[in-house]
Amino acid sequence: MTAPHPFTHPLDPPLALSRHAHDRIGDHRVDDAWLAERWADDRTRVLLLHGGQVAVTAEQVPAFVSPSRTGPGARLLLGEEGGTTYFAILLDDPPDGFELVSLRAIAAGLGDLDAGLLVHAVGMANWHHTHRHCSRCGGRLQSEVAGHVLRCADCGRTQFPRTDPAVIMLVTDDRDRCLLGHNKHSPRPRGFSTLAGFVEPGESLEHAVTREIAEEVGVRADRVTYFGSQPWPLPASLMVGFYARANTTEITVDGDEIGEARWFTRAELMAEATNGDVVLPGHVSIARRLIEDWYGGELPGTW
């Protein structure tokens, strides 16, 4: 069964990298005759990737070429939209005539179709890059099912694309303040953002939220409510956003990851973002959306 189309997101506007317009047509991934027919059709559009980066035109938009203009590499079926079939190819060598850039560099300016295609392609490219040998016998993995399955050439074990869930949360308190932290390893001296962390095995998303808050800043929280999610294939995460309400407000940073954390009223956050004492995350991030949704409007400054 194909997914409902077009996709609608409960957030308006949707998170930048949660948008997509293409149907992934997963049932065609095992149809070799259909795949060969579409690859032979010059109306098919192909994204060029190399080393986890995407080829762009001089206008810094994704370069889509016909299959006949590609080089050797693993092919990935992305899907269809408006009667056009889309693939990506993980090139063995850099493409001639195009600049290669990271998804992060162009994400903010992408439309719905390009955003969905690039997130899909870059996520798959990173999985192919990091999974080259069988985890059971060490044999070489071979690409199958239009790039969505890797099979060991020696023992036959199959591997499927991995996504690592991570929680990202804005903590608020009963005084209508929000809690932001500065990562001590960040290259941005005044960069403040929401708290975040990876979900551990056997752990619910809600428990991961409260655990990470307690570990990073020493605050006890509950009343965890879902905000939205966004794929973040840099390299392989799904960022799941939440709000949480603090039961305690005394801050004790872990000193390992978080070097500083502070409570902000809306007036304080606007004032410090305006004068540059606080620099907020980029507009493509779910962290920015969480902060501005709580604030009730746009805030100045960005990484």
User: Are 175 and 277 in the same domain?
Assistant: yes
User: Are 169 and 124 in the same domain?
Assistant: no
Total domain count, the chain: 2
**For position 55, which CATH number holds?**
3.90.79
239 has which bridge partners? 166, 230
**Using CA atoms, how far apart are residues 272 and 252, in angstroms rounded to an integer?**
22
Domain annotation covers residue 77: yes
Domain-ending residue, one of 130, 154, 183: 130
For 10-54, the pLDDT digits (tens) are 677 788 899 889 999 999 999 999 999 999 999 999 999 999 999
Share the mean pLDDT of the chain: 94
For 10-22, b where at least 16 C-beta lie within 10 A, e where not — what string? eeeebbbbbbbbb
Across 153-204, where does the E strand assignment appear? 158-159, 164-172, 178-183, 195-198
Please give the residue range of the domain that contains residue 75.
16-130
Structure tokens at 222: 């509950």
54 has which bridge partners? 49, 101
Intra-chain end-to-end CA distance of the chain, in Å: 41
Structure tokens at 285: 């991030």
**Using CA atoms, how far apart are residues 74 and 161, in angstroms rounded to an integer?**
15
Residue 14 has what pLDDT? Answer: 82
User: Helix 286-295 and helix 266-275: axis angle, to 10°?
Assistant: 130
For 230-242, the pLDDT digits (tens) are 999 988 999 999 9
User: Are 175 and 257 in the same domain?
Assistant: yes
Q: pTM for the whole thing?
A: 0.90
* Residue numbers of the chain with a pLDDT score lower than 70: 1-10
